[in-house]
Amino acid sequence: MASERMAEDGSGTGSGTGRAPEQPAALATDGMEEPPRPLDSIDRSILRILQTDGRASIRSVAERVHVSRANAYARINRLIDDRVIRGFGARINHERAGQGASAYITLKIVQNSWRTVREQLRALPGAAHIALVSGDFDVLLLVHTPDNRTLRELVLTRLQSIPEILSTRTLLVFEETDLDPAPQG
Per-residue model confidence as pLDDT tens digits over 113-144: 999 999 999 999 999 999 999 999 999 999 99
What is the pLDDT, as a whole number, of residue 36? 76
User: Mean of the per-residue pLDDT values for the chain?
Assistant: 83
What is the pLDDT, as a whole number, of residue 32? 61
Residue type, 69: R
Low-confidence ranges of the chain (pLDDT < 50): 1-30, 184-185
Cα 32-37-43 angle, rounded to 5 deg? 140
What is the pLDDT, as a whole number, of residue 18? 40
Model's pTM, two decimal places? 0.66
